[in-house]
Amino acid sequence: YPCGRYTLLYSHGNAEDLGLIAHFLTDLARLLGINVLCYDYAGYGQSVNPVYVKQQCYNDIQSAYTYLVHVKNVNPKNVLLYGKSVGSGPTSWLAQQLCTDDGMILHSPFLSVIRVVLDVGFTTIGDLFPNVDRVQDFTCPAYVIHGTCDEIVPFYHGESLFNL
């Protein structure tokens, strides 16, 4: 959006790629009057050599953020982070790294990947995207969106993150 003051850095969900959500993101940018940058994780969409590991997802979002700030010269205070489902992992990681006071939106976030599968009350070694451990460190306002009928990530995950 050419005149948008803010830029949304959108980290998509597991069953999505840029091709599937391009129209949604275009509509979102137009309706809100903002710029939107969405990226594909390594192994998604048009990328080659599927690699889906935690560190690569962190590298992907860091590269997207660096591109916005250092190449497109977007003021870091005007970058809003948005993570949907699995995208909440890289998004919460970046928010923790930046120690930003700006906003962040977590859409259908999970406590951690292992907790989606096993209802354990602690973070295990090797657990991917331990959002529950990061949210406590946030200095930015975090808005949580989560449907009560979500069949993939239980509603209580989003509710628990909201209440931390």
User: Which of 28-32, 34-38, 100-104, 151-155 bottoms out in mean pLDDT, i.e. has the lowest?
Assistant: 100-104
Would you say residue 64 lies in a domain? yes
Neighbouring CB atoms inside 10 A of 91's CB total 28
Percent of the chain having pLDDT more than 70?
93
Which residue range is the domain that position 62 belongs to?
7-163
Give the pLDDT of residue 48: 66
Q: Count of domains in the chain?
A: 1
Would you say residue 148 lies in a domain? yes
Q: For the domain that residue 43 is a member of, what is the CATH number?
A: 3.40.50.1820
What distance in Å separates the CA atoms of residue 163 and residue 95, rounded to the nearest whole number?
A: 18
Give the pLDDT of residue 144: 95
Tell me the mean pLDDT in the region 21-35.
95
Would you say residue 109 lies in a domain? yes
Q: Which residue has the higher pLDDT, 50 or 114?
A: 114
Would you say residue 1 lies in a domain? no
Would you say residue 55 lies in a domain? yes
Q: Which amino acid is at 155?
A: F
Q: Provide the strand spans (E) within the chain.
A: 7-11, 35-39, 79-84, 104-107, 142-145
Task: Give the strand pairing for 142-145 and 35-39.
Answer: unpaired
Would you say residue 2 lies in a domain? no
pTM of the full structure: 0.90
The 3-state DSSP class for residue 79 equals strand
Each residue of 124-143: pLDDT tens digit? 888 888 899 888 877 778 89
